Each structure stands twice: as C-alpha cells, then as structure tokens.
Structure 1
Amino acid sequence: MNAVVAAVAVMLLLSLCRVHVVVALIIGALVGGLLGGLGVEGALAAFNKGLGGGATVALSYALLGAFAVAIAKSGLAHALADKALALVGRQQGEGGAVKWLMIVLLLAVAVASQNILPIHIAFIPLLVPPLLYVLSRLQLDRRLIACVLAFGLITPYMFLPVGFGSIFLNDILLANVAKAGVDVGGVSVTQAMLIPALGMLFGLLVAVFFSYRGKRSYDLSRVAETEQVSAHYSPLSLLVAGLAVAAAFVIQLWLDSMIIGALAGFVIFSVSGVVRWKEADDLFTEGMKMMAMIGFIMIAAAGFAEVMKATGQVQTLVDASSSAIGNSKAIGALLMLLVGLLVTMGIGSSFSTVPIIAAIFVPLGVQLGFSPLAIVALVGTAGALGDAGSPASDSTLGPTAGLNADGQHNHIWDTVVPTFLHYNLPLLAFGWLAAMVL
C-alpha cells in the first residue's frame, strides 16, 4: 500500500475517532515512514527535521492569542457585543437582520484578508472571539461560521489574481504548468478557475440556506468566563484598541511578520495603561494557552509533511494514478483531482501541492487531449482541493482558533468535517466539469 495513502488514512481515521490531531499526525507520520521504508529512526528524523517549518506560524498564533486577550481587556469585546445586542433588541422577532449582518461581516473580512488587506488568518483570533457572545445570543451555528470563514480564506486565492491569489494563480499555478511544457500565454487563469470557484459558492449556499440554517445553543456563561474582563470600557480604551489593531496590521504588512505585528499591538496596550504592567504576564500567558493547541498542530503538520516527502511515495502515487487512467479523459480528470485531494489533506497546503502534481499531470493532460485552459483548471483545482477539510490546514485551524476560544467548538467535527463536505465534494464535481467543458 502506498505510504502516503496509508499515512493520510490513519491520520484522518484517528482524528475522526476524536484522537487529538497532534497524536493522529505523529502516528500517521510513523505509519507512513515505516511503509515508505524509512524505518522508525528515519521517520523520526524526517519528522524532527520538519518541525521547524511550523515554528514560525505557531509563535505567530501564540502572540496573536496574547494580543486577542489584550483586546478583550480593553473592553472592545463588550462594546461590539453591546452594539450588536442593541440591534437585536430593536429587531422584531429574533434578530434575523443582525444574524445576516454578522455572516456578511465575517465573509467580507475573510475575503478581504486574501487581497485587499492580505493578512490571511491573522484577523480571526482578533475579530471572532469578541463576537462569540453575540453569535451565541443569536444561536448561530458555529459550523456555519466555520464554513463562511473557510470560503473567504480559500475562494479568493483560487479565483482572483490579486494578493495571495496572485501568488497562487500566477507564481505557482501558471508558472508550474508552463514549466511542465504547456504554453499559458493566452490562458485566462480567472476563466480557468471560474467553474471550480462556483463549486465553492455552491457549497457556501448549501451551508447557509440548508445545512446550518437552524439554531444551535451555546453556554453563554462559558463565553463570559473566557473573556474574564470587566464590562466597563471607555472611549480611551476603545481608541487604544483601534490604534493597536491598526498598528498590528500595518506593521505586519510592512515587515511581513505576524509575530512583530502582534507584539507591537500588545506593547501599545501595555504602554497606554489599558493593560497594566503587573497584569501583562498573566494576560500574555492566558493568550498563549488559548492558541497553544493550534500552534502544536501546525508544528506537527510540518513534521508530517516532511515524512511524506522523505518517503518519495508522493511521486509514486502520482505515477500510479497516471498508469491507471488509460486514454479516458473523464477517468483521468477524476483521478487527478482525487490525488490532489489526498496530497493536500496530508500536507495541509495547496500552495505546496501544485508543484508536486504539475510535473506529471500536465504532460498527462496534454497526452489525453485536454486544452491548456482545462489543464490549468485541473491542476489548480487539484491543488486547492483538501485545503478545506484538512485537520492540518490553516483554512480550518484559523476558524477553530477563533470559534473555540470558549471550548465549545470541536476542530474535527465542527470545522474539518463541515468544510470537507461543503467544499471538497462540490469542488470535485465542478473541477471535473471544468476539465470536461473547457
């Protein structure tokens, strides 16, 4: 059995059985390493080598957690809650307009985080925890919010060639397709990825209007417990919070570092007196604890990916699928997409998947008679598949980081499974359709 298939299968099965994701990643990596001929020592060596790849993101999350707690201390959380709850109180019935306001707000910010203000998932631990009380009062299903955030984090980079989309579509997708021998000079990458992007939109609409349209109750006392701050706030504390958030975003864009941006925001809170010096250590520790699980998952995921690469069987998997295709375009498109799904769910990064699969799938697509437009759509969709629904993807870890601040949102069953069902399955269908009609 292919080592990559076995490792990903073990990791996913253990995760679904509620084994902690970090443990599932380690066991899956060992299984893959053993089947890939690395042995226990070789698998551990590769795993340890890869750990450093997730350290920067983990530290970024830890500092963002501390920054989020400082924002809560400023009273911004209560100010947002008070405004939203006042709107709920003025609504006839049960606050339906505010519900849609929250959904549209989070969707707009998630989309903007990929292009207008390219900060990716950095906004989630800053914006979502302060809104949990309002979301809970509205009885909004957090699985719906996870789907909304995942849509905003993934669809813009796979369709719009600006911000992170410029990197994925131009620097990675088109560049690797061209490198593999296809002339992409006249190819419109937006046209190629339009149908797959419509698949993402279809999944979002199903989640919003069908799957999670009902109410779901959450313990409001646990939300209040998590904030652990006084309900009192002043114009000064809110002004400082606004300046700290703005400074964090500007510095992150300037220096391309979430770590320095979050640290600068926390320092502004401390210097201003909103966070007292004697409280700084406790708040910093509290914030780091809040984000610790996400950080460890990212570190373990980097080790898992390194073991998969060290086995050399990602290429074997791609080659095996190529030999099974024969001359059927329909089967070829489906197998390419399934391999992309498997590889991305294991590695956790669509950006890293495209270079792996393009080298084989592009010549194969030419051989089967796919047009350059269809080949770009196939490889792009195969890379994006699995970003939603992977336990180790930042597109699932980010939403969990915000929605589980009070411990009432399970990473696997409330983020991973819903996003897998609502995005990967439509993306498979719409990606296959794009390959056949373009």
Structure 2
Amino acid sequence: MAWAVIVSVLILTILSLLRVNVIIAILAAGLAAGLMNGESLIDSLDILVKGMGDQASVALSYILLGAFAVAIGYSGITGILVSFLLRVLKDRRTTMVLVIAGVACLSQNVIPVHIAFIPLLIPPLLKLFDRMELDRRAVASALTFGLQAPYVMIPVGFGYIFHETIQKAMAANGVSVTMPTIAQSLLIPGSGMIAGLFVAVFITYRKKRKPLKGDSFFQEEQEQTEGFPSQSFNRKHALTILAIFVTLFIQAYWESLVIAALAGLLLMFVFRVVPFKLGDNIMTEGIAMMGTIAFVMLVAAGYANVLTETDSVSALVEQSSAFMGNNQALIAFILLLVGLLVTIGIGSSFATVPIVAALFVPICVSAGFSPMATAALIGTAGALGDAGSPASDSTLGPTSGLNADGRHNHIWDTCVPTFLHYNIPLFLFGWMAALML
C-alpha cells in the first residue's frame, strides 16, 4: 500500500517531535506500516524482528567502541586535549566548530572510521563547550556535515563504497555509469550541504547559548575535577595513542569495526593503562554510552525490513509515477520527495540506494533523464535520509557524544537542526542537478 510509507514516516516524525523515545517511535511506525499492508500485528512484529539481524554486527561494534572510549578517557589523555584547546581557542567558538567539522570529514575518506571518533573526542570537550557557551546544535550540525558530505562528493573511503553502490545499483537496472561520472553528478547536491554548514555555523547558531541543566552525577563529577591541574604527557598516554593507531589500522585494513574496537580495548588492558579489575566497570560505562544508539540501529533495520518486505516503497513510486507524465521538473521533484520519505524512515543512505535505484532508474529512462542526472537523483535521495533522520547513525553518533552529560536532545538539538540545514538544500540542489545534467 503506497500510503503506508507516508503514514509510517509521519508517525515516526510526529512521535519523535513530541519527545517520545526514538525506539518506541520507530517500533510504532514499523508496526503501522505492516498493519496498513494487511499484515497482522504479530506478523508485522515478526518481520521487524527478523530485519534487526542485519545490523547486529554494527550494534556490537558500537558497544565495544563505547567501552574503548571509556578506557581512553580513564587514561587521562583527553584531559590534555581539552587543556590544549582551552589555551589555543579560548572563546573562538566558530573556529572550534569548524575544526570539529574538519575532523569529522577526515573520518569518511582519509581515516575511514565513520562515527568511531565521536565518543573519543566529544565527551571530554563538553566542559569546554559549556565554558565557551557554545551552542551544541552548531557542533551537531558540524559533525553530521563531516559524517555525510565527504562520502557524498568524494569517492574515497566510505565515499568509494557509496559511489560504487550507486554504480552497481544502476547497472543492475540496465544503466551503465562510471565512478567519475557519479562523483561529478553529486558535486552540486554536496554543495548544498556546504551552504547549509555555513548558514548553521555563521548565522543560525553563532550566538552564545547557556548550557542546559543535565545529569547531576556528571555535573558532580565535573565539579570534583574542576580544580585539578592538567596532566603532563606520560607513558600511559603514549600507550593509549598506540592503541588508538592500532585500532585505526585494523579498521582500515580489515574493514571490521568489531575487531578493531575489540583489539583497542584489549590493548588498553594488556598495556596496563586500565587495570584488569576495572574491566566490568569499563564495559558497563561503554554500554551506557553507546547502548542506546546500538539498539536504535537494530530497530531501524527492522523498520526498513518491514517497508521492503511489504513492497510499500514500490507501491508508492508506482502510484506516484502514474500522474507525473513527462514533465522532468515534476518527476525529479516527486522522486526526491519519495526518496526523502523512504530514507528518513530507514535512516541509512547505503542501505537505501539499491531500493531507490530499482524504482528510480526505469522512471528516469522513460522520462529521458541522462545517466548523470539519474545518478544525481539516486545519490541525493539516499543522502536525504542520513541528515535529519532519528534513526541515522549520522545523527545518532553526534547525539551519543553531545548527550554524554544529559544536556542534549536527540530530536530538537540534532535531528531538527540537521534536517533544516542539510535536507532542504540537498533537496533543492539535487533537484537542480537533475535538471541541469
């Protein structure tokens, strides 16, 4: 049923905006989609649960990564970083945000670790953000930009995987296109994200913002360490850096975040940076930090499975194409709107591209779109779900770091800002690219 996608995404969006827990919101949206397609409540839940297995390795990697981040924090090396930034940046809030955006960009192409750096870098900086009265929505916008824009525009690292996914999905549907052509087609949509970043940093969130009241335990811990002198670099810090580099190498070479995070965590114990007796505490705190995002990814995979197994997406596109005619401007607009609805619910551009391509390619060929314009539509439609979706790791990742002290709301402080500053320009610039190319 075509309306199932629209109704389920509306349910997900409305419940999220009403501050209903994102896991409950996704479950409600998935069950609603199943019921609207004639499935029983039990069958809908069964389809959703079966789909959760697709993200099991990702969830495990996030848990291990959280524990590794806690172990690194225990070493005290992050305190040195905070002290350095305090001396160098002081009240230069805009510079701080742009530096964070730059670091995030490196995580996609140069050192492809995706969100792995966030629990290592952001929680130790929260005290600095509060001192500077930095608007955390600006930081969330910078992180999401760095997690998404590079792979959209640059075919290296995760960008290579994204562009290759588009190429293979188009080839499977009868249209051949080269990787350089795909990269060229996505430069215009990616430029929209650059414009969105500048608006967020230099206009929307430029002013100071008083820190919100957060978790009392975290605040008490901050107050206890407020007067401690900054540490000098020592042997434990050197071993911690070694463990980090080993983790990055393993992740890049074997492309397994689970093995990389596990290796880094084990090295922290082997090097005696963290005593063995604190193993349980490290794992417990790691689960507390990253457990929510891991489970959200599981439930989001289940929701995506409901949409695909019940043919909700294909029905939506088939009915949409019936009244579009040969008006390319209208066709491109409708296709991107469908892509937005589909991907904001699924929350993964990489997982959405094959689904969207199977539906977009036949319509684009019949309407006379060039292969480059078709690639621009597919790439933009996939990217639309990553920015602003409550279920996307490009929004969940920033929230996991910024909300370590309970002072950052996932929907209003991450998803709404990223949707406004990235999805809107992505949509408009992607639409223009489809008509120009």
Q: 1:228 to 1:117 in 2, by over 3 A?
A: farther
2:110 equivalent to 1:116 = yes
Q: 1:212 to 1:255 in 2, by over 3 A?
A: same
| Cα distance between partner residues in 2 of 1:229 and 1:47 | 45
| Alpha-carbon contact 1:3-1:311 (below 8 Å) kept | no
2:329 is matched with which residue? 330
1:191 is matched with which residue? 184
Q: Choose the corresponding residue for 1:128, options 104, 122, 132.
A: 122
Q: How many pairs does the alignment contain?
A: 430
| SS in structure 2 at match of 1:67 | helix
| Alpha-carbon contact 1:15-1:412 (below 8 Å) kept | yes
- Letter matched to residue 206 of structure 1: V
2:236 equivalent to 1:244 = no
Q: 1:186 to 1:50 in 2, by over 3 A?
A: closer
Shift of 1:210: 0.8
1:29 is matched with which residue? 30
| Alpha-carbon contact 2:70-2:282 (below 8 Å) kept | yes
Shift of 1:222: 6.5
| Cα distance between partner residues in 2 of 1:226 and 1:349 | 36
| Alpha-carbon contact 2:12-2:28 (below 8 Å) kept | yes
| SS in structure 2 at match of 1:273 | coil
- Letter matched to residue 186 of structure 2: M
2:51 is matched with which residue? 50
Q: 1:84 to 1:179 in 2, by over 3 A?
A: same
| Cα distance between partner residues in 2 of 1:125 and 1:400 | 10
| SS in structure 2 at match of 1:386 | helix
2:388 is matched with which residue? 389
| Alpha-carbon contact 2:167-2:179 (below 8 Å) kept | no
2:206 equivalent to 1:206 = no
Shift of 1:344: 0.6
| Cα distance between partner residues in 1 of 2:140 and 2:179 | 37
| Alpha-carbon contact 2:89-2:96 (below 8 Å) kept | no
| Alpha-carbon contact 1:141-1:216 (below 8 Å) kept | yes
2:71 equivalent to 1:78 = no
| Cα distance between partner residues in 2 of 1:249 and 1:307 | 35
Q: Choose the corresponding residue for 1:156, options 146, 150, 158.
A: 150
| Alpha-carbon contact 1:107-1:152 (below 8 Å) kept | yes
| Cα distance between partner residues in 2 of 1:187 and 1:68 | 37
Shift of 1:187: 6.5
| Alpha-carbon contact 1:226-1:405 (below 8 Å) kept | no
Q: 1:360 to 1:310 in 2, by over 3 A?
A: closer
| Alpha-carbon contact 1:350-1:387 (below 8 Å) kept | yes
Shift of 1:224: 5.3
Alignment map for 1:294-373 (pairs within 5 Å) = 294-373=293-372
1:92 is matched with which residue? none
* Worse-superposed segment, 326-335 or 242-251: 242-251
Structure 1: runs of 5+ lacking an equivalent: 90-94
After superposition, what is the alpha-carbon deviation per residue over 1:361-412, rounded to whole angstroms, capped at 9, x for unaligned? 2222222222222121112111211210111111111111111111111111
Shift of 1:335: 0.3
RMSD, matched Cα = 2.0
Return the TM-score normalized by structure 2: 0.93
2:100 is matched with which residue? 106
Structure 2: runs of 5+ lacking an equivalent: none
Shift of 1:228: 9.8
| Alpha-carbon contact 1:4-1:314 (below 8 Å) kept | yes
| SS in structure 2 at match of 1:389 | coil
| Cα distance between partner residues in 1 of 2:220 and 2:300 | 31
| SS in structure 2 at match of 1:18 | coil
| Alpha-carbon contact 2:343-2:352 (below 8 Å) kept | yes
2:400 is matched with which residue? 401
- Letter matched to residue 385 of structure 1: L
| Cα distance between partner residues in 2 of 1:255 and 1:376 | 29
Shift of 1:74: 0.8
1:64 is matched with which residue? 65
- Letter matched to residue 256 of structure 1: E
2:138 equivalent to 1:139 = no
Identity of aligned residues (%): 50
2:214 equivalent to 1:215 = no
| Alpha-carbon contact 2:73-2:120 (below 8 Å) kept | no
Q: 1:244 to 1:402 in 2, by over 3 A?
A: same
* Worse-superposed segment, 47-56 or 9-18: 47-56
Return the TM-score normalized by structure 1: 0.93
